Structure 1
């Protein structure tokens, strides 16, 4: 069974997304994330995101757009390759302040 998306507040200034960011999970995740996102984390770590589609991309764009401190945009780190591809195709990588997972060479 795949884990639907969840969000947790981590160390100061960072939130962690886990599981899927898909059409199925995003509506519930959006509602559950309100308190955490209103705490204005500076960074959202996507290292434990297992799947993402355009609904996941839209959620990240919504969080970035609703940021109350536009001078300090959210920073999304460790995005999976599927999300990086969607953002690139949509020309949203820079707008999202999105970076992918580091590739480790053996």
Structure 2
């Protein structure tokens, strides 16, 4: 199954699996896509088909890069697995995930 990142309206849309196998490619693609953002980085996870702890790691790296660039960061439609892992790792508030009382 394919995977990737693309710009769609006001968001960076992640498609396909977000796992240790796909993380390096997705990381680089999202950093490149951030060049188009001037106020806020919005990462839409609606089309993620599979995710492991690498997804949370990627979100943290993207959050850090957005902060470095002085941009706000938002995660849209995280899969339950990603939101659950973020809660377990204690980074759900940091990432502003829905239901985290951020």
TM range, smaller chain: 0.7 to 0.9
Structure number with greater Rg is 1
Paired position in structure 1 for 2:29: 32
Paired position in structure 2 for 1:44: 43
RMSD across aligned positions (CA): 1.7
How many residues were matched structurally? 95
SS at match of 2:21: coil
Structure with greater helix share of residues:
2
- Using the size of structure 1 for normalisation, the TM-score is 0.80
2:80 and 2:26 mapped to 1: Cα distance? Answer: 21
Q: Which runs of 5+ in 2 are unaligned?
A: none
Q: Which runs of 4+ in 1 moved over 4 A?
A: none
Is the CA contact (8 Å cut-off) linking 2:12 and 2:30 kept in structure 1?
no
- Using the size of structure 2 for normalisation, the TM-score is 0.82
Q: Which runs of 5+ in 1 are unaligned?
A: 101-106
